A and B are shown apart, each in its own frame.
Chain A
Amino acid sequence: MSQVVATTPGLYPLPDWAKEELSDLKGHQKDDLISGDEGADVTAAYERTRSEVIERQHEAGLDRIVEGQLRWDDMLAHPLAVADTVETRGIVRYYDNNNFYREPVVTGDLTATGDVAAELDAASEQVDDGLQAVLPGPYSLADLATDEHYGDDAAFLDAIADFLAAEAERFPDVETLFLLEPSLVENPPGDGEDERASEAIDAVADAVDADVVTHTYWGALEEKVYAHLMDADIDAIGFDLISNHDQNTYNVQEYGTKDDVALGLVDGQNTLVESPETIRERIDWFADQTDGDYETVYATSNTELFYLPVNKSEAKLDALANAADLEVAQ
């Protein structure tokens, strides 16, 4: 029987009081967003939000606790938005959503900032075990950014992978690292690039002594991209069963998967709250379809959670944690 581990891909909605307070402290314009050198008031407000979402995850009973990525104004582009040789320019659309981030333009050699490590250090004070780090996957981060320095796509992807690996090396002890790779689905790599994307993921995964999950969403990977991703030395691949369960299942039937698996079982972009029983049925369905005897099933939302209002996002944490407990009861 698989061990079901309830977790999330992070990027939580800000608590409502913080939406107001941080908006007042920081302002509404693009120059007001996080650049990594915020003042004491803003830092203190974010510390309170972090503490609150960690506490809420404990209360729900999640098995992995994320820091919440509440400072990530630019969503998955955040690690670059706070880097030194990166300019943040116009507001651009975040995938096919009604959300926008500042386009990060890389203008010089990238060096790690320790920004994400510092967030995890702060979180680790409240989390005894089960701390989970979250980073954009290198392919997605390169896809979200613009290169004006490295010159070609392959060199840029390598540089982004090295940059993320250097960030990850600074992390405190974490149990799990989620690398979010929606671009592998949304803007699939072509011939050659698919192999490099997999190698780039490998490079980041090697930098941490933790279980690494490469999580994909908004559909399913093309077969060839999936086959290459299977070559990466990671512990699990994440599948979005909300947006496309058939193709994701097919990929696993056809090409197999790792010993562990992550399943996007609740919809991070819909307020309808799934019941623990429904979540459990989806896990069983997937295992049945793929003849899988997985050591660990990470039960998660398919996407980041910031698309949701706070009450519904919290209800989904409860549902995921309760679904994992259902299994124990059986």
Chain B
Amino acid sequence: MTGPREQFRPENHDNDNFLMTTVVGSYPKPKWLHRARDLYEDDDEKFDDGNFQEAKDDAARLITEEHERTGMDVVVDGEMRRNEMVEYFAHRIDGYEFNGRVKVWGHNYFDKPSVVDEVEYDQEWLISEYEFTADVADSPVKVPITGPYTLASWSFNEVYDSEAELAYELAELVAEEINGLVDAGARYIQIDEPALATTPDDHAIVGECLERIVAGISASDASGGSSDLSDGVPDDVRLGLHVCYGDYSRIYPEILDYPVHEFDLELANDGFEQLDVFTDDEFTKDFAMGVVDAHVAEVESVEQIKENIKKGLEVVPPERLTVSPDCGLKLLPRDVAYGKMENMVQAAREIEAELDAGELDVEPAAASADD
């Protein structure tokens, strides 16, 4: 086993096999939430903190329940409270300042923050978000958190001698937040490191960050025992890592040494061209595979998604396969995002039934000698 997974199986799950279904994290915001933010940011309007908080709570409740309606096993609130994956955190960390937006591509911009002083943990980042979602949801809740390497890499560093040094400092803060989340009851934490795809040569830095996070969790009161992989991380806490839109051959199999249970990777976008990367060297962790494209506004059919899931079964056996979209869904129209998730869950359930019935003959390409 590669980690505590069975706890996420729903009580009324119909099939013996269990392909865990979930999302990466972000989901399209309702239009009225954007409107509410505009009102909140407009000094001429009387839309205050309380009004905006209420709007975000409503949206988080709505999208958490929308995820549950698709039938997925582990849900998220769609990151309704987060404006962007670095900005959101930088606003909550001492040592950051904002100077204005910078270009990403075309007319897409990002309010890239600057580290102008030593970074320190100030207010909580995600604990209240988790508590609210867990309260709304009947299903288990996953918490996506931007990783220290991406927080460092997508900031201007005015203080530390190197980006790595900044990333290591931030890793301590991420560990502190994860401790708080674990204390609050979170059992599935996904660390997002998309910046690793930009600079794959830095995979050792990301590895060191994760080691420090795990050490930070171990050192805390939250740790109640020892898991098979991550000393000191409570046995029932599952750690994942999400990396997307890069050349995986430049980071795999090295990333298998990271102290996490699961890798969540994007593969549908380029038609599973990179699948070979993961079959050439045995995939020894849980594999959360992107089976629908987050950048195509057409809902894939159940049949198509089933074919994609079968590709995942070439990499790992069913008990180690998680079924998810390529990446956050926030850029899709909301009905398309919903349709994709509904079909994805349906496809997973049909594959499970076919596996139960012995109708599917899919074997992982590589089997280790000591299995």
- Chain A residues packing against B (C-beta within 8 Å): 13-14, 16, 19, 22-23, 26-30, 32-33, 73, 91, 93-94, 96-101, 269-272, 306-312
Q: How far is the CA of A309 from the CA of B99 in the complex (A)?
A: 6
Rounded to whole Å, the gap between the CB of B51 and the closest CB of chain A is 25
Q: How far is the CA of A285 from the CA of B281 in the complex (A)?
A: 50
Interface: B107 (CB within 8 A) = yes
**Structural contact, B198 and A96, CB atoms closer than 8 A:** yes
B194 to A, closest residue via Cβ: A98
Most buried by B among A28, A101, A271: A271
**Structural contact, A16 and B100, CB atoms closer than 8 A:** yes
- B106: chain A residues at CB < 8 Å are 28-30, 32-33, 73
Rounded to whole Å, the gap between the CB of A98 and the closest CB of chain B is 6
Q: How far is the CA of A257 from the CA of B107 in the complex (A)?
A: 39
**Structural contact, A309 and B100, CB atoms closer than 8 A:** yes
Q: How far is the CA of A99 from the CA of B198 in the complex (A)?
A: 10
- A308: chain B residues at CB < 8 Å are 102
**Structural contact, B157 and A270, CB atoms closer than 8 A:** yes
Rounded to whole Å, the gap between the CB of B349 and the closest CB of chain A is 34
Q: How far is the CA of A289 from the CA of B274 in the complex (A)?
A: 48
* Contact among A14, A19, A27, A100 for B105, CB-based, below 8 A: A100
- B102: chain A residues at CB < 8 Å are 13, 306-309
The 7 closest A-B pairs by CB, nearest first: A309-B100, A100-B105, A23-B107, A272-B158, A309-B99, A271-B156, A271-B114
A30 to B, closest residue via Cβ: B106
Tell whether A99 pairs with B105 under 8 Å between CB atoms, given A270-B156, A271-B158.
yes
Using a CB-CB cutoff of 8 Å, which residues 189-235 of chain B contact chain A?
195, 198-199
B97 to A, closest residue via Cβ: A271
Rounded to whole Å, the gap between the CB of B164 and the closest CB of chain A is 15
* Contact among A14, A16, A22, A272 for B156, CB-based, below 8 A: A272
4 further contact pairs, Cβ within 8 A, besides A270-B157, A307-B102, A309-B112: A16-B101, A29-B106, A96-B199, A269-B156
- A32: chain B residues at CB < 8 Å are 106-107
Q: How far is the CA of A101 from the CA of B99 in the complex (A)?
A: 24
**Structural contact, A98 and B158, CB atoms closer than 8 A:** no
Rounded to whole Å, the gap between the CB of B20 and the closest CB of chain A is 31
Tell whether A97 pairs with B198 under 8 Å between CB atoms, given A19-B107, A270-B156, A271-B158.
yes
Q: How far is the CA of A107 from the CA of B24 in the complex (A)?
A: 38
Rounded to whole Å, the gap between the CB of A171 and the closest CB of chain B is 26
**Structural contact, B158 and A309, CB atoms closer than 8 A:** no
Tell whether A26 pairs with B107 under 8 Å between CB atoms, given A98-B195, A310-B100, A311-B100.
yes
* Contact among A14, A28, A29 for B103, CB-based, below 8 A: A14
* Contact among B154, B157, B195, B198 for A93, CB-based, below 8 A: B198
- A100: chain B residues at CB < 8 Å are 104-105
Q: How far is the CA of A32 from the CA of B109 in the complex (A)?
A: 15
Q: How far is the CA of A26 from the CA of B107 in the complex (A)?
A: 8
**Structural contact, A311 and B101, CB atoms closer than 8 A:** no
Interface: B108 (CB within 8 A) = yes
- A23: chain B residues at CB < 8 Å are 107
B111 to A, closest residue via Cβ: A309
Rounded to whole Å, the gap between the CB of B54 and the closest CB of chain A is 28
Using a CB-CB cutoff of 8 Å, which residues 312-371 of chain B contact chain A?
none
B199 to A, closest residue via Cβ: A96
* Contact among B100, B104, B107 for A27, CB-based, below 8 A: B107
Using a CB-CB cutoff of 8 Å, which residues 64-111 of chain B contact chain A?
99-110
Q: How far is the CA of A271 from the CA of B97 in the complex (A)?
A: 10
Rounded to whole Å, the gap between the CB of A14 and the closest CB of chain B is 7
Tell whether A309 pairs with B101 under 8 Å between CB atoms, given A271-B114, A271-B158.
yes
Q: How far is the CA of A33 from the CA of B112 in the complex (A)?
A: 22
- A27: chain B residues at CB < 8 Å are 107
A93 to B, closest residue via Cβ: B198
A selection of 14 A-B contacts at a CB cut-off of 8 Å is: A16-B101, A19-B101, A19-B109, A29-B106, A32-B107, A73-B106, A94-B105, A98-B104, A100-B104, A101-B105, A272-B114, A272-B158, A309-B99, A312-B99
- A93: chain B residues at CB < 8 Å are 198
A73 to B, closest residue via Cβ: B106
Q: How far is the CA of A12 from the CA of B199 in the complex (A)?
A: 24
Tell whether A311 pairs with B99 under 8 Å between CB atoms, given A98-B195, A272-B156.
yes
A18 to B, closest residue via Cβ: B107
Using a CB-CB cutoff of 8 Å, which residues 296-313 of chain B contact chain A?
none
Q: How far is the CA of A58 from the CA of B362 in the complex (A)?
A: 68
Rounded to whole Å, the gap between the CB of A95 and the closest CB of chain B is 10
A27 to B, closest residue via Cβ: B107
- A99: chain B residues at CB < 8 Å are 103-105
Rounded to whole Å, the gap between the CB of A9 and the closest CB of chain B is 16
- B112: chain A residues at CB < 8 Å are 309
Q: How far is the CA of A158 from the CA of B158 in the complex (A)?
A: 42
Q: How far is the CA of A174 from the CA of B108 in the complex (A)?
A: 32
Q: How far is the CA of A309 from the CA of B111 in the complex (A)?
A: 8
**Structural contact, B100 and A28, CB atoms closer than 8 A:** no
**Structural contact, B107 and A270, CB atoms closer than 8 A:** no
Q: How far is the CA of A52 from the CA of B99 in the complex (A)?
A: 19
Q: How far is the CA of A99 from the CA of B105 in the complex (A)?
A: 6
B112 to A, closest residue via Cβ: A309
Q: How far is the CA of A185 from the CA of B263 in the complex (A)?
A: 33
Q: How far is the CA of A245 from the CA of B118 in the complex (A)?
A: 26
Rounded to whole Å, the gap between the CB of B230 and the closest CB of chain A is 29
* Mask: chain B, 251-264; 1 = CB below 8 Å from A; 0 = not: 00000000000000
Q: How far is the CA of A270 from the CA of B99 in the complex (A)?
A: 12
A31 to B, closest residue via Cβ: B106
* Mask: chain B, 125-154; 1 = CB below 8 Å from A; 0 = not: 000000000000000000000000000011
Q: How far is the CA of A93 from the CA of B200 in the complex (A)?
A: 13
